[in-house]
């Protein structure tokens, strides 16, 4: 870079954007998939450039180096002299090594960041750099584990793990430049991330606070979440409520007991389905996900997820609440109508509303009707439910 344009930075950020995105299945390398009108890479770079002054090295697929350079220059503007773009390797570790080879001589600290963590706030970059400047060899942003974690084999739970001792690792991961160079030079095997490689080389890795927005876009559900976060509408600075509609239908003919509206109905014929066939819970889930722009029930609870086989309403609603919270939404309320001849919902309506409200953490009202003998519900072949949900974006 020219000596009179910008101060020479002592930090470099390697943005790893060379992945194929197989699990995302979006028809393009992951970093070049659009979240809104801009790509995952573009959003990641906007946050990198909003952080500490740094040389920015983008590692891209060999055939997308030109596209990556275009994206980087669009973000950098007058700071385009800070940019280098290189082709990645066969593995993530090879890609980071390619980035390390073009780090400027004056750089003291190197941050390695996954482009797939496109919404990582700039403050996380600042925390990592501050940890390195305070004397640590390496710094890793982490967030606490919120789910109960089990150690399992192919068919059973072996043990519950103490989640107070566990944390989820994020990026950017920061290192003293000499420490990272030496660890890469000595590496004899691939590691899951750069912090693991440096730790294997004998260095202690400090932790700093990560951020919920630094989640990794890996699946289509993750992409929906990112799109929802970026699409939150606001009027005069105030969050604007959003409404979603959901429906579900199941036929009678399942095994075991009937589950409907979160309740077991002894003596009634069961509904068929991958889970317990609870059309009320499923319609609520679809309405909430639609309101938040997070896809549908098949995206998050599909038949390819065996953990939801036979699951009841509480499992679906609790998980949906977590998904919406993670995407920046609070649930206002849900109204759901059941269409069926049996069971008679009125005697247990209050009980159903209480169970559903407790599981969702927001008010749920339930009503029921018959269809005067019309359609499959009228002939007693199954049950249908229709839900409307209101969600409100949380303040930024």
How are the residues of the chain apportioned to helix, strand and coil, as percentages rounded to the nearest 5? 35, 25, 40
The annotation status of 153 as a binding-site residue, yes or no, is no
φ, ψ of residue 56 to 5 degrees: the values are -115, 120
**Tokens encoding 117:** 């963590």
Q: Helix, strand, or coil here: 31?
A: helix
The annotation status of 43 as a binding-site residue, yes or no, is no
The annotation status of 297 as a binding-site residue, yes or no, is yes
Cα 237 to Cα 60, 227, 263: the distances in Å are 37, 19, 41
The annotation status of 86 as a binding-site residue, yes or no, is no
The annotation status of 10 as a binding-site residue, yes or no, is no
Tell me the chain's radius of gyration from C-alpha atoms: 25
Q: What is the 3-state secondary structure (H, E, C) of the chain?
A: CCCCCCCCCCEEEEEECCCCCCCCCCCCCHHHCECCCCEHHHHHHHHHHCCCCCEEEEEECHHHHHHHHHHHHHHHHHHHHHEEEEECCCCHHHHHHHHHCCCCCCCCEEEEEECCCCCCCHHHHHHHHHHHHCCCCEEEEEEECCCCCEEECCCCEEEECCHHHCEEECCCEEEEHHHHHHHHHHCCCCCCCHHHHHHHCCCCCEEEECCHHHCCCCCHHHHHHHHHHHCCCEECCEECCEEEEEEEEEEECCCCCEEECCEEECCCCCECCCCCCCHHHHHHHHHHHHHHCCCCHHHHHCCCCHHHCCCCHHHHHHHHHHHHHHCCEEEEEEEEEEECCCCCCHHHHHHHHHHHHHHHCCCEEEEEECCCCCHHHHCCCEEEEEEEEEEEECCC
The annotation status of 134 as a binding-site residue, yes or no, is no
The annotation status of 372 as a binding-site residue, yes or no, is yes
The annotation status of 191 as a binding-site residue, yes or no, is no
The annotation status of 32 as a binding-site residue, yes or no, is no
The annotation status of 249 as a binding-site residue, yes or no, is yes
Q: Which residues are annotated as a binding site for a divalent metal cation?
A: 248, 250, 282
Known binding positions: 248-250, 274-275, 282, 296-298, 369-372, 376
């Amino acid at each position: 870079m020219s000596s009179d344009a910008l101060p020479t930075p002592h930090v470099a950020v390697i943005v790893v954007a060379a992945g194929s995105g197989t699990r995302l299945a979006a028809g393009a390398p992951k970093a070049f998939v659009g979240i809104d009108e801009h790509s995952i890479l573009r959003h990641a770079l906007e946050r990198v450039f909003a952080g500490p002054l740094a040389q920015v090295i983008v590692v891209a697929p060999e055939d997308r180096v030109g596209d990556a350079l275009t994206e980087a220059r669009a973000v950098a503007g007058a700071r385009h002299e800070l940019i280098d773009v290189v082709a990645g390797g066969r593995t993530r570790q090879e890609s980071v090594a390619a980035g390390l080879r073009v780090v400027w001589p004056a750089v003291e600290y190197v941050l390695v960041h996954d482009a797939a963590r496109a919404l990582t706030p700039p403050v996380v970059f600042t925390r990592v750099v501050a940890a390195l400047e305070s004397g640590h060899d390496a710094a890793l942003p982490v967030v606490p584990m919120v789910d109960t974690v089990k150690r399992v084999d192919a068919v059973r739970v072996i043990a519950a793990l103490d989640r107070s001792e566990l944390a989820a690792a994020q990026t950017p991961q920061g290192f003293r430049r000499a420490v990272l160079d030496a660890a890469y030079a000595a590496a004899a095997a691939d590691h899951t991330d750069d912090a693991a490689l440096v730790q294997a080389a004998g260095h202690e890795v400090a932790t700093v606070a990560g951020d919920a927005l630094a989640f990794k876009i890996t699946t289509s559900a993750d992409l929906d979440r990112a799109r929802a976060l970026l699409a939150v509408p606001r009027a005069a600075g105030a969050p604007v409520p959003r409404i979603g509609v959901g429906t579900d239908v199941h036929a009678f003919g399942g095994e075991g007991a009937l589950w409907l509206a979160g309740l077991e109905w002894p003596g009634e014929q069961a509904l068929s389905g991958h889970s317990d066939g609870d059309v009320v819970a499923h319609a609520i889930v679809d309405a909430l996900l639609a309101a938040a722009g997070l896809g549908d029930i098949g995206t998050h609870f599909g038949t390819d997820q065996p953990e939801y086989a036979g699951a009841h309403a509480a499992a679906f609603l609790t998980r949906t609440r977590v998904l919406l919270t993670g995407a920046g939404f609070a649930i206002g309320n849900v109204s759901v109508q059941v269409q069926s001849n049996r069971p008679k919902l009125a005697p247990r309506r209050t009980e159903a509303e209480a169970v559903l409200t407790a599981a969702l953490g927001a008010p749920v009202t339930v009503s029921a009707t018959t269809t005067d003998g019309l359609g499959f519900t009228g002939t007693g072949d199954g049950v249908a439910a229709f839900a409307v949900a209101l969600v409100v974006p949380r303040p930024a």
